[in-house]
Amino acid sequence: MIVANAAIFRRIAPGTSGLRGIVILFGLALALALMALGSLAFVVTEGRLNQAVNHSLFKRERKLLKPTPDGDRPTLAMVRSRIEGREDGRTISQIGHRLIDPGGRQIAGTVVELIGSRAVPGPVLFKEVHGHHLRHGRALTVRLSDGSRLDIVAESELIENMGKIIWPMFLAMAVVATVGGIAASLGLSRVIAARLSTTRRTADAIVAGNLKSRVPVDSLDGMFADQARSFNGMLDRIEALMLQTRQISTDIAHDLRTPITRLRATLEAAACADRPAAETRELVDRALAECDGVLSIFAALLRLAEVEAGQRRAGLKLIALDALVEDVVESMEPVIEDAGMRLKRGQIDRAMVLACPDLLHQLLVNLLENAARHAGDGTAVTVSVSRAEAIGRAFLRVADSGPGIAAIDRDKVRRRFVRLDRSRARPGNGLGLALVDAIAELHGGSVALDDNHPGLIVDVYLPLAAAGRDAATGPRRLTPAAVAASA
């Protein structure tokens, strides 16, 4: 039960437990950094203060041993009187002295005991006349030429006190920083976890089957909002694909049910024993035609799947689109004529494209077949090829003068199995334009439908091969890439 509860808790508040270790580490790192910074500040400050004290020691030395106006060294008596003159300002200067004559007797100054003094300024212990214990200071010792000795001592209480104050202060700061750092990190991790949990809840809802669920973007900001938008975009795409897949399965089922129902009825009629042989034969022929119809839907679907899988992309060749168009036009001219229409050649420019010839033939045959089926008696269909050099595209146009397709239906007719009401009675499986679209896409191209006032314009844009652009202006040069691709 406890274990289960723990598991439930983790499910409700995931992420924060994983962040706990990071939070403590973060706090410790912050404290350590602060300690290091404090030590550095202390060392630097101490050095600066010592320098300042040294400077005042040298200055006092220069003043005490200042030569006479004649340029001679001051006598011991002069030094002594200078010291005594200074001793009055003792409380201000915080510098003490000790002057010892060559006989070893102290003849001036308030410092009575001095340990550790040398010829360069350094830390010492000293005691003054009225002092009861040794104190820390910095001192400088000068040997005078007559054998006497001058000690100059400065208090370093300030530095000492600074040390006493600064370390507890840094410790306090470190503690505050650690606690504060941990608290801030915990807060941050909670904020992040809360933001992430909205995404997680959405993902869970989708796993549970609610495909419409999306991450609420309004409550989020900055990168979380961006991330949520990307996530939602991905979900939209997945949902669209799933719907499409579902739609395709439904469409296939619907589209096959009609011919299979007819097939069943035909076979049932043919199975009737007392029917004349000739009639039975005719029914069997009709059943075979129905089978062929079903098989042709499968063939088209498989072809579409093959094209969409992009298997042919490896076998693309450098081909002249204009020559291909001439070839198809020659084949389709009788078909269009038999449909009571005219097939006209528009402007046909030279255009080289990298393509699968079989698929491009099918693309154009499909477009012309569509025209033959839907444009109607007495109309004309024009095929043209031109180059749009600026965008590096060849474009193949099939334009008829039939009834055309209303603007709102133009996107619809490109989907599989979509057949507009007025064309339902005519042959066709509703896969032609979907295949044209897929073939154009395989070649890196696109298809646009437009109004021919009256009629339908289908424009197929295909990328011009590099050699195609050269072919218009001079002798054809093949780029190595084009040669490799066509080989």
109 versus 432: smaller Cβ distance to another protein? 432
Does residue number 312 form part of the binding site for another protein (CB under 8 A)?
A: yes
| Segment interacting with another protein (CB under 8 A) among 191-199, 224-232, 295-303, 376-384 | 295-303
Does residue number 299 form part of the binding site for another protein (CB under 8 A)?
A: yes
291 versus 478: smaller Cβ distance to another protein? 291
Q: CB of residue 369 vs another protein: minimum separation in angstroms?
A: 5
Does residue number 451 form part of the binding site for another protein (CB under 8 A)?
A: no
Does residue number 311 form part of the binding site for another protein (CB under 8 A)?
A: yes
Q: SS in 3 state form for the chain?
A: CHHHHHHHHHHHCCCHHHHHHHHHHHHHHHHHHHHHHHHHHHHHHHHHHHHHHHHHHHHHHHHHCCCCCCCCCCCHHHHHHHHHHHHCCHHHHCEEEEEECCCCCEEECCEEEEECCCCCCEEEEEEECCCCCCEEEEEEEEECCCCCEEEEEEECHHHHHHHHHHHHHHHHHHHHHHHHHHHHHHHHHHHHHHHHHHHHHHHHHHHCCCCCCCCCCCCCCHHHHHHHHHHHHHHHHHHHHHHHHHHHHHHHHHHHHHHHHHHHHHHHHHCCCCCCHHHHHHHHHHHHHHHHHHHHHHHHHHHHHHHHCCHHHHHCEEEEHHHHHHHHHHHHHHHHHHCCCEEEEEEECCCEEEECHHHHHHHHHHHHHHHHHHCCCCCEEEEEEEEEHHHCEEEEEEEECCCCCCHHHCCHHHCCCCCCHHHCCCCCCCCHHHHHHHHHHHCCCEEEEEECCCCEEEEEEEEECHHHHHHHHCCCCCCHHHHHHHC
Q: CB of residue 463 vs another protein: minimum separation in angstroms?
A: 21
Does residue number 288 form part of the binding site for another protein (CB under 8 A)?
A: yes
Does residue number 290 form part of the binding site for another protein (CB under 8 A)?
A: no
18 versus 315: smaller Cβ distance to another protein? 315
Binding string to another protein for residues 333 to 372, with x set by CB under 8 A, is what?
-xx-xx------------------xx--xx--xx--x--x
Q: CB of residue 238 vs another protein: minimum separation in angstroms?
A: 28
Does residue number 315 form part of the binding site for another protein (CB under 8 A)?
A: yes
51 versus 311: smaller Cβ distance to another protein? 311
What is the footprint of another protein within residues 403-432 (CB under 8 A)?
427-429, 432
Q: CB of residue 324 vs another protein: minimum separation in angstroms?
A: 11
Q: CB of residue 338 vs another protein: minimum separation in angstroms?
A: 5
197 versus 296: smaller Cβ distance to another protein? 296
Does residue number 295 form part of the binding site for another protein (CB under 8 A)?
A: yes
- What residues line the site for another protein (CB under 8 A)? 285, 288-289, 295-296, 299, 302-303, 306, 311-312, 315, 327, 330-332, 334-335, 337-338, 357-358, 361-362, 365-366, 369, 372-373, 427-429, 432
